[in-house]
Amino acid sequence: MKSFKKSLLASLVVSAISPVSAIAETAQLDTVVVSATRSEQSNISTPSSITVIRRDEIEASGASHIIDIINGRGGAQVRDFYGDGTRATIGMRGFTGDTASSNTLILVDGRRLNNPDSSGPDLNSISLDNVERIEIVQGSAGTLYGDQAVAGVINIITRDIKDFSANISVDAGSYDTTRVHATVSNRAKNGFGFRFSVDNKKSDGYRENNELDYENFLGKIDYKHAKGVVFLEHQQVYEDLNTPGAINQAAIDADRRQSNGKNQFNDTDTNVTRIGMRHNLSQNWSFEAEITARDSDSNADFGGGDVSTSRLEVNEFTPRFIGFVPTAHGEAQFTLGADIIESEYDIASVFFGSPSSTNNKQSVQNIYGQVVVPLSKSITITTGARYSDVENDLVNSSAFPAGVDINDNLTAAELGISYAFNPQIRLFARADQNFRFAKVNEQTFAPVGVIGLETQEGTSYEIGAEWRKNKHSAKALVYRVELDNEIDFDAVLFKNNNLDPTKRNGLTLEGRYQATPKLALGAQYNYTNAKFSEGNFDGNRIPFVAKNTALLTANYDLTSQWTLFGEIQYISNRVQAGDFANTRDELDGYTLANVAAHYKHKNLTISGRIQNLFGKEYSSYATFDSYYTAPERNAILSVNYAY
């Protein structure tokens, strides 16, 4: 990878003069977090901005899907095709279009949900009932997490196994939506624990031909001992989804809930097995490792005879050593690890009447190291590096019938500083190199004559300040992301392509104010100026990036049993996806209001949430004047009983 174009000092100056503005709801960092260093820590000493959404906030929101919690928080934007999360993607810092899911890394307990093909992470596989907290790392994390951690990392932490508990939830909502969730868990005195859960959801969906039939089974057993823990978990997910597709403005005017009439569907079965351990080697050193095997079978009909059958297998091994070494000013933390990811992707498809088959075996091998060193009681330096190597063995019946090898390797590095001005105020600055390899199926649909897309490479710079006191907090940061060979999809040529250099400048402001013992207010504002910096589209806006987003929230404890919640979300106009020339009408921005009520009495919990309270008619996505209309006012009611 290219060496830093500027010294760290120069990069921070560049960041400082980037456009800014912001405010956002953030939980106080008074809990253990793992995402800053890939291991548990209770104090944020690394130069990273992390938003933590706690369990009590999740419950108070009345949300039924992970996207309802994340949208607008920590600078995250959700693109939700059908309004129920079934085909939603999460983007950050100006990566919100067709490649959002390739530039924002989604983890569950540190396990990657991102795929080596261009499909998005399966957010439906995450049951909110099993979530303890959500950690949002704002900004590049290429050194620590590698491929696809370009704009940020969202780590969803599941609930720990404690004493015996069991609960059952029953939901009912708009569009004949029903859901049943049941969980049982226990921790024995000898250290053995288990947790089993099942989800079943059915819905007709907001639009015609949008039915969903979904099942999720999850089991985990573990053993905690004096030196650490070992665990085994397995998950099976079955999803049958009808996809109504995009419609034009004339169809929207006639009936915005209609489908495009092609009776499309996408059915997917997924199995995930994971084993892992943490072992304390000595007083200062520990070893952690996980092995994950995931396979997914999908059958899809895209309409007009365009069908596909695919299978994806992903195997991961992620060992790491963590050490805490005493110094004159505290403990220095060392992390040394490897990420080994082996994938195989097979697809047989028919597009525009032409059959095609593809097989790609991809191997990505990484080693990385990070050190966090206290230079004084108030100043901490973080530095690290990663070496990554990718090998593709690709066979395509049309483009590469004899097969082709596409390989690359690179090095990424980071450097940052954190300064604790006093116990309430922290200042930080950092530069982090990032990258993403072309996906296993992006290499197939490349421009004619191109054998192997270039690896996307970039550098992220940011400076920020955080303040917190009691239950109040505030945050401000500015950033710049510069990319070479950004990989995107050209909907005109129907090909994946390396773009000319791009640049994203932005500002985030977040704040939380405990107005009274019962009333908490939150606000967030994000500004993103995302443009091409060279080439044929020099100065043009990058498609589907909103310049302005905002979020206002309020939590009110009406009584010891009743909690009320409300939020207002705003997103500004966006250039339609694929419109690099910026010649088409922009997708209109919108403002939404969501409200919820939460009641708890002994073992019984009842919550209700109304989305889009005022029935705003809007579209969540647009490309070449084809639109995905979003749901108007809709509601969900949940009843939970815990033993």
Per residue in 365-406, pLDDT tens?
999 999 999 999 999 999 999 999 999 999 988 878 889 999
How much is the pLDDT for 398?
80
Architecture of domain 8-642: Beta Barrel (2.40)
pTM for the predicted model, two decimal places? 0.91
Torsion of CA 121, 123, 126, 297, to 10 degrees: -60
Residue 97 CA to chain centroid, in angstroms? 13
The two counts, helices (H) then strands (E), for the chain are 5, 34
Q: Vertex 461, ends 23 and 99: CA angle to 5°?
A: 80
Which candidate, 527, 442, 434, places its Cα nearest to that of 483?
434
454: pLDDT strictly greater than 90 = yes
Cα distance between residue 621 and residue 633, in whole Å: 18
| Residue 4: band (very low, low, confident or very high) from pLDDT cuts 50, 70, 90 | very low
Contact status, residue 255 vs residue 205, Cβ threshold 8 Å: no
Residue type, 52: V
pLDDT tens string 268-280:
999 999 999 999 9
Residue type, 236: Q
40: pLDDT strictly greater than 90 = no
For the chain, domain boundaries: 8-642
pLDDT tens string 507-543:
999 999 999 999 999 999 999 999 999 999 999 999 9
Q: What is the CA radius of gyration of the chain?
A: 24
How much is the pLDDT for 24?
33
Among the ranges given (246-260, 292-306, 375-389, 422-436), the one the predictor scored with the smallest mean pLDDT: 292-306
**285 CB-near residues (< 8 Å, 6+ apart):** 321, 322, 323, 324
Cα distance between residue 415 and residue 312, in whole Å: 36
pLDDT tens string 295-351:
999 999 877 677 889 999 999 999 999 999 999 998 999 999 999 999 999 989 887
| Residue 169: band (very low, low, confident or very high) from pLDDT cuts 50, 70, 90 | very high
Q: Vertex 88, ends 256 and 266: CA angle to 5°?
A: 80
Which candidate, 112, 120, 3, 34, places its Cα nearest to that of 339?
112
Cα distance between residue 292 and residue 274, in whole Å: 4
84: pLDDT strictly greater than 60 = yes
643: pLDDT strictly greater than 90 = no
pLDDT tens string 45-76:
788 888 899 998 898 898 888 999 998 888 88
500: pLDDT strictly greater than 60 = yes
Ranges assigned E (strand) in 470-561:
472-484, 487-490, 495-498, 502-514, 519-532, 548-557
How much is the pLDDT for 406?
92
Contact status, residue 45 vs residue 380, Cβ threshold 8 Å: yes
13: pLDDT strictly greater than 60 = no
How much is the pLDDT for 34?
85
Which candidate, 154, 144, 140, places its Cα nearest to that of 456?
140
Q: Percentage of residues in the chain with pLDDT exceeding 90?
A: 72
Which candidate, 28, 23, 37, 120, places its Cα nearest to that of 416?
37
Q: Percentage of residues in the chain with pLDDT exceeding 70?
A: 93
How much is the pLDDT for 142?
93
How much is the pLDDT for 22?
30
| Residue 31: band (very low, low, confident or very high) from pLDDT cuts 50, 70, 90 | low
329 torsion bin: left (phi>0), alpha (psi -120 to 50), beta (else): alpha
| Residue 12: band (very low, low, confident or very high) from pLDDT cuts 50, 70, 90 | very low
Residue 499 CA to chain centroid, in angstroms? 23
Cα distance between residue 314 and residue 293, in whole Å: 6
Structure tokens at 456: 């996307």
Helix or strand run (H / E) with residue 194: strand 192-203
Cα distance between residue 616 and residue 633, in whole Å: 7
575: pLDDT strictly greater than 90 = yes
294: pLDDT strictly greater than 60 = yes
- On average, the pLDDT of the chain sits at 89
How much is the pLDDT for 26?
39
| Residue 592: band (very low, low, confident or very high) from pLDDT cuts 50, 70, 90 | very high
44: pLDDT strictly greater than 50 = yes
**344 CB-near residues (< 8 Å, 6+ apart):** 312, 313, 359, 360, 361, 362
Q: Highest mean pLDDT: which of 30-44, 45-59, 625-639? A: 625-639
pLDDT tens string 358-374:
899 999 999 999 999 99
Residue type, 519: L
